[in-house]
Structure formats: structure tokens, C-alpha cells
Structure 1
Amino acid sequence: MAFRLKPTAGLASLLSIVSWLLRVQVNILQINTADRGGGAEGSARGLFQRYRELGHGSWLAVGRKYSNDPDVLEIPRPPIAGAGRRLLQIAAEIARAGDPALPGARRLAISLERLASPTRLADWRAGRDEMDFPGCRQIVNMCPAQPDIIHCHNLHGWYFDLRILPELARQAPLILNLRDTWLLTGHCAYFMDCDRWKNGCGQCPRLDVYPRCRRDATAENWRQKADIYAAARFYVTAPSQWLIDQARQSMLQAIDYKVIPNGIDINVFKPGDQDAARRELNLPTTTPIVMFAAAARRSVFKDPRTMQEAIRLVAERRPDLLFVCVGVKAPSAALRRLNVRCVPFITNPSRLASYYRAADVFVHTAKAEAFGKTITEAMACGVPVAATTVGGIPEQIIDGETGFLCPPGDPPELAAKIISLLSDSKENQLRRRAAAAQRGQEFSLERQTAAFLSWYEELRQNHILPTNPEQLPRHCP
């Protein structure tokens, strides 16, 4: 069931005025995998930048830093003892410097770092979560001032030691921002149709799911996570009620849970002239266009098979269509005989918004999804969406108004929904585009920022510091 949100008009101005009147500055430390990329990386980066624009102390600690931003803090990798291991660590640093220009550089860097660390190597071989990242203990001291809030995003990705969570919780109110279900399981980022995570994992049926395990230590991983959480006071947020509901059934028992949907820049992703967008992109102005994003080749959480079969079925009934696939240079073998135009991965948000505006329908398929960012972006540009009913997606799309939902793994039903959107009367198409735009605009970065800042202040007011003097926060500027 989709959430109904209040209008966002004037929210940015109101937020700025309130901040100015109250003179409340918050020092916010966020922790995430990297400062480059989409999904969790893009969401955390957007919040980090917006907090800073509003005058707050804002720092982003990351496992991999790509930018030159002085407020992005790369978690250090202290030199490893032993000449051979140190050489492996230096080789890993060289490989990491080649990412993302050199394909495979990041994976090589991770492997070399693992070889340099006997503890990580042993954990990897045994299938245990790798947590030997001693630089994580310096995260708070890297900040120019003591954080008032510590906000963690993705903590998987071979850079973070979960065992420091209790210490972070003693430093400031600690928020765990779920982006997937990794914190709830013994290894996988999404459990899909498996329920073992509710009772301790073990005998894992999908060790190859990211992050993959060489051996089944999922029960041990699950117990270790449960012990860590039991020793810490923290709060949990997620972009969808679906993900919060999963957290409540898990060992991740928080002081409080809050749904705050991911926001997008509605100054970029907004409705516009469809014909102008098509001329800009050299697309035909009279041909109906169906747009979809290519699934990551290694991701088992997307559903390219359903997407490809649905597209093929639609093309059989509507040979006049043009399909635009964003994210790849060439179509898959299943789609090569169709009228498909492929567009390599787009890094410029404004250009991506033009592709959305040029489309008549956007299609999204997944087997697991906490929150579909591309769905929100497409709707905000006035494009109705046909998507599968998994995870948090039903909370984004208002079925029958801003698009259609259909069961996962059902290509004929998805194809029927796409054709229904394309075959609707002109009047209904305009009404649906307006409804999609209104819905998408509700998921603004300004709304997300305001929700978090309001929550931060509430947590600051109610946070109880440890009574043991040895547990009080220590910050070395």
C-alpha cells in the first residue's frame, strides 16, 4: 500500500527559516561505503551535501573516497606489520587508485588487502564476516568536532568493523539506516524467500548471494551480529515500511524505528516538454517509447529475465514501439532483434531526467527491493511506472493512478500492464502523467532532509550519556 505524503511546497524555505531562527547547528557524521555511486552512496552523499548547505557540521566517512571534498573522510588503513604483508597492502593501495578507470581494480584491491591481513584471510576462508578494519576506531577522531549524531548507511562492502557499534553508540545517538537486509542476516544482502534469518540462519541455501561466502558460517555470523546489537543502544531507519517490518522481526532490536523515504532532487527530476526532450536526445517525436534500466550483470536481486520476456511480448503486440535501455552499450541477446536503443550508464542527472521525460512508460522489475530510486525519479518526471510488487515498491507506486503493480516473475501480466498504459486514451494518459509527477515530487530531498534533522534534534534532546566516566566520549581534534 502506497504512503500518502503531504505537499512539499515551500519546505526548503521553511527549513532554512527555522534553522536561522533557532540557531541550531548539528554536527552530523555519516558513514557509508563510498562517496561515489547510486543507491545508498548517492542518497548519503545528497544528505551530506544538503546538511552542509544548511550550515550544519557535516562529514561523510567512507571506505573508499573518490572526490576531493575535504569533508569526505576516508577511513584509514593503518600500516600492517611485516615486510611481505606491507608490500601486499601497498599493492592494494595502487590497485585501489586505479578504480574506477581500470575494470577489476577494486576487486583486486580487496583481494590484496585480504592477503595482507591474516585475520581477514582466515575469516574469508571460513565464510565469516570480515571485520578486521582497525582504522574504523579512528572514525570519530577524524571529525573536526565531536559529532552530535552518527548516522550509518551501508556497512557491508569490506570496509567496516561492526564490533565498534557499541562504542559509537556511547559517543552520540547512533542511527542504523537500512538500505537492504544485510544487518538482519548471517550473510546475504537480501534474503528473498528464505526465513532462516528470523531464527539464527545456518544451512544457508544461497551462499553465492552477495556478499558471497566460501563456507557456511552464517549461523556464527548471525550470532556475532546479535551479540554486537545487544551491547549497543541505537535507532533504526529505513526508506520503506516493508524494511522496518523485517527489522522488527529480526535480532536488530532498536530503541525506535522510523520510516524516512529516500529523497531525490526535484529541481532536476521534474516534468517537462516530452517533444523537447526527444529532440534533445535525438529520439523520434511520434513513436511511443518504453524505457527501462539494465540490471547489473551480477545482481541476483533484479529480474532481467522477467523484464526481457515482458519486453518481447509487448513488442509482438506493438511493433511500432521504441525501447530505450539505459545502462548498457548493447542489448542482450534476447532483445537484439527488437527496436531497442541502448544508452551507456548516465552520470549526469539532468540528462537522465531528459530520458525519463522522453518516455511514455518506465518499467522496473526486481526480486528484492527496499526502495526503487529509479521509480521515484521516473514518476517525478511525469512518467507512469509498471513494476513488480516486491519489498517497498508498493509504497511508492499508487496502483492504477501513477502506474501499475504486478506479481514478480510474471512476464505476461507485466506486458499487459505496459500495453494498458500505452493504449489508454490521451486524456487518461495526461491524467496519469500528472498523478505520477505529483507522487514523485513528494519524495524530495528537502523532505528527507527535514525529516532527518527533526529526528536528530529529538534524539539529541533525549540521548542519555553513559554514567561511567570511562565510557564518556573522548574526541581528539
Structure 2
Amino acid sequence: MKIVQINTYDITGGAARAAYRLHRGLLQIGQDCRTLVRYKASTDDSVFCVIPKNPPEKVDEEFFLSVAIQQHYINSHRTDISNTIFSLPYPGYDLSTLPMVQAADIINLHWVAQYQSPLTLHKLFVLGKPVVWTLHDHWAFTGGCHYSAGCEEYCHGCAPCPQLADDPFGLPEAVLKDKLRFFEDANLTIVTPSRWMAECARQSKLFKDLRVEVIPNSLETDVFSPQPKSEAKESIGIAAETITILFGGVDSNERRKGFRELKAAIKYCLKDTRFQNLVESDKIRMICFGRPYDDLNTVGMPVVPLGYLDSDEKISAAYCAADIFVLPSLEDNLPNTMLEAMSCGTPVVAFDVGGMSDAVINGVTGQLVPIGDTRQMGKAILSLIFNSEKRGVMGKKCREKIEEQYKLEIQA
């Protein structure tokens, strides 16, 4: 089967990494899979950077939309409800005439913001080929937000938009109307990595009448595999007997990632005399990877910032060096970080939001607490910090869960 994936990036960002893993999984089982991207960072010969040579007026159009609309109309008028990306789906690049697309048996869309528009997607739909759209966030069925921050106006018409303080032209509503017009009668199947995202898609005005299937993301279980924690800790310069809490992500300053809530949970932990003694005796550390928070030094305990890790092997070592992975996201799909930590045998403490409960079985592979309840998150952290036997049992269950449900060949 000839499969063409379309994604804005190939390996940059969580959605891209998830899509690329599927791409590699399809190749491993013998499928003819090619990926078309706007921005390529890998050296993979089966990934193609495709940006049509546009006439000057097309370049001017994109510049105008980027500056006048994206920066001045959208970015300058965001409310405090969210600082997660909110993007305009224009102008878009027409890929429908490419021989590779013409020859495909199936088209698999992924994260196509800043690459595809409702019109260019329509041109793919009218080719008559089956199209599968794998959703990595809400953007496909909203008027521009990538995560709705609890808003459900995408079920009705995206008006009014709580993420824009000033919206005199009703932009999100107009964008959603565009999608409704151009997506009509498309031979489109929606795939979501989590049950939560599937329910959002089924309730959306745009996708409510379409087939929606849940197929979890996968990962390389041979790369993300358990290692002796003492050795992993020493590999990143931490003493083997030190207790470690890991936190990480691409952009830790994004509000929905929950750094404020993590700080509050650690503050609660510091009220515990035993935890405080660990901090004072330098026997516990927090490890952080990705872009660090601007006020990382205000956590209240020693932090080891690893920065951006440029290989899966280094990322895997960080997970293996952690006794607990804390995931305080307030809104998320099926985070790669959660699956990666579990694959390395590290239990997860998270808020019970989005797709967390798909993988984290409370009390078995980690601890889930009510969203925003930092007191309960603190208690969950403490319960694992002072019970190494429980952590070990959970770690083994984590690995079993990943091997049963999240291997590359299962998703492919």
C-alpha cells in the first residue's frame, strides 16, 4: 500500500515525533510510506520537504497574514485563559498535484498547521482517495486554538472565542465556517491517540458525523527501555542513592503544562518533615529537560536542568534516572513524555486530564489526581518518594503496559 503522510515538521515537536514514529513503524511492517513536510530536520530519505515555488504575490500574502492577522490580530489580543498556540490556517500549500500524492492509496494527515489551509485540504479531499486525519490537538476542528482551555464552542460555531480579548471580525467563527464548507462530503476518517480527544472530535460541529477511531501513539520500546537507575543517575552526574523527580517538555513556560501547579505541589511536599530533611541533606533532586521555566530556581528544591536533549538515547537516560515522572499538564492528548517515561519503567504522577488515564492506571502504573488539586499531587509524590518497593512494582507494570499496547507495530 502506498501511504503519504503530511505533517508540518518531521521530527521537531511532540506531534511530529509521534507522526514520525508511525512513519517508521509502517516502513518496518513493509508498507510504502512517504512523508511530506514543510520543515525537515532529519536526514531520512523517505521524508520530503515540499514547499511549492510561489509567485511574489503569494509570498506577500503569507507575509501579510503572518504579520497583520497572526501577530497583530491574534497574538496581540490573547486573553489570560491560555498562551498555547492559536494559529491561522492560511494561506496553505497545494500538494494535490504532486505525483507522489496522485499515486497514493491513502493520505494520512497529521499536524498541518502553518502548512495546509481549508482550501488546500479540500483539494486533497476531492482526489477521491481515503484520507485519515490523526489529531494531535484540537486545531483541526476549531477556529484556530490548538487547545480549547475548557471551551466547547467548537461544538457550536466558535463564537464568542474566550481566547481572544478583541475579535471585531469574528475570526474563529469565520475560520470554522470555512472548514465546514471545504470539508463537506470529504472521504475522511478521524483517528485520535486518546479516548478524550475522540470524544472532543465526536462532539465537534465539524467532525460529529464522521467516523472517529482511537489508535494510540507508539514508541520505540527498544530505545526507551529500563536501565538500572543507579547507573542512569550517575550518567547525568547525580549520585546513585539520590531520589529523583523528573519534569520536562518542549516549552515549560506554556501555562497548560502546569509548572505553577508543580511548584505548589512541591511546596506542599516541603511541609513534610521527611521530605524537608531529604532536601536539606541533598538527597533528593528534581531533573528538568526541555526549555526551562524562567523561574526554575523558585521550585524550593535542588534542580538539575538538562536543557534540550538532542537524541532519544539521552532522553531515555533521563527517564531511567528518574524515580518518579511528574506530569502536571492541565490539558493534553496522549503525551509522548508519559509513554516514554513508562516505557523506561518510571511511574507517572499526573492530573487526571485528557488521555492520561488511557495509560496511567491509578495505583498500578502511577498516580492520577483531580485536575488542579496540587495538595493531592503533593500527597501522590510523597507516597512514592517514601516507598521504593511500590515504585519498583509500578515501574514493572509501566513497562508491561507499554509493551502490550504502545509498540510501533501495534499502531502501524
* TM-score interval (norm. to shorter): 0.7 to 0.9
SS in 2 for 1:269: coil
State the secondary structure of the residue aligned to 1:367.
coil
CA distance in 2, matches of 1:315, 1:334: 15
Distance in 2 between residues matched to 1:329 and 1:227, nearest whole Å: 42
Cα-to-partner distance string for 1:208-242 (whole Å, 9 max, x where unaligned): 7xxx9896411111111112222312100000111
Is 1:60 aligned with 2:32? no
Task: Measure, in 1, the Cα distance between the counterparts of 2:252 and 2:5.
Answer: 29
Q: Distance between the aligned counterparts of 1:432 and 1:414, measured in 2?
A: 17
- Partner Cα distance (2:167, 2:247) in 1: 31
Q: Structure 1: how far apart are the matches of 2:147 and 2:251? A: 15
Greater displacement, 220-229 / 44-53: 44-53
1:29-77 deviation line (CA, Å, top 9, x unaligned): 0000111213110111122233234433221111212234343222323
Residue identity matched to 1:434? K
Give matches, 1:458-477, under 5 Å: none
Match of 2:212 in 1: 257
TM-score (norm 2): 0.86
1:120 offset after TM fit, Å?
6.7
Aligned residues: 388
Distance 2:147 2:260 in 1: 19
Find the counterpart in structure 2 of residue 131 from structure 1: 90
Deviations 1:146-194 (A, max 9, x none): 00110000121x2212223333234311011111111221121111221
Structure 2 portions without partners, runs of 5+: 75-86, 279-283
In structure 1, the residue matched to 2:377 is 414
Q: Give 2:382's aligned amino acid.
A: I
* More strand per residue: 2
1:223 aligned to 2:177?
Answer: yes
Matched, 1:51 2:14: no
Give the secondary-structure state (helix, strand or coil) at the position aligned to 1:301. helix
Compute the displacement of 1:417 (Å): 0.4
Task: Give the match's secondary structure for 1:58.
Answer: strand
Q: Which residue of 2 aligns with 1:389?
A: 352
Aligned to 1:309: 264
Partner of 1:404: 367
**Other-structure match for 2:49:** 74
CA–CA distance in structure 2, aligned partners of residues 129 and 330 of structure 1? 27
Q: What is the 5 A alignment of 1:187-206?
A: 187-206=144-163
Moved more, 326-335 or 341-350: 326-335
- d(CA) in 1 for partners of 2:118 and 2:293? 40
Of structures 1 and 2, the larger Rg is shown by: 1
Letter in 1 for 2:143: G
What's the offset of the Cα at 1:374?
Answer: 0.7
SS of structure 1 residue aligned to 2:255? coil
TM-score normalised over the length of structure 1:
0.75
Secondary structure of 2:288's match?
strand
Q: Flag the 1:132–1:114 CA change in 2: closer, same or farther, 3 A.
A: closer
Aligned to 1:293: 248
Alignment of structure 1 residues 133-172 onto 2, 5 Å: 133=92, 136-139=93-96, 141-143=98-100, 146-156=103-113, 158-171=114-127, 172=129
Note the C-alpha offset of 1:331: 6.9
Partners of 1:198 and 1:423 lie apart in 2 by 45
Structure 2 residue 399 is the aligned partner of structure 1 residue 437: yes
* Aligned residue identity for 2:124: L
Q: Given the alignment, which residue of 207, 216, 235 partners 2:189?
A: 235
Counterpart in the other structure of 1:342 = 305
Task: Using the TM superposition, give the Cα deviation of residue 298 of structure 1 relative to its aligned residue in structure 2, in angstroms.
Answer: 5.2
Give the partner amino acid of 1:264: L
- 8 Å CA contact retained: 2:95, 2:101: no
Q: Distance in 1 between matches of 2:3 and 2:291?
A: 37
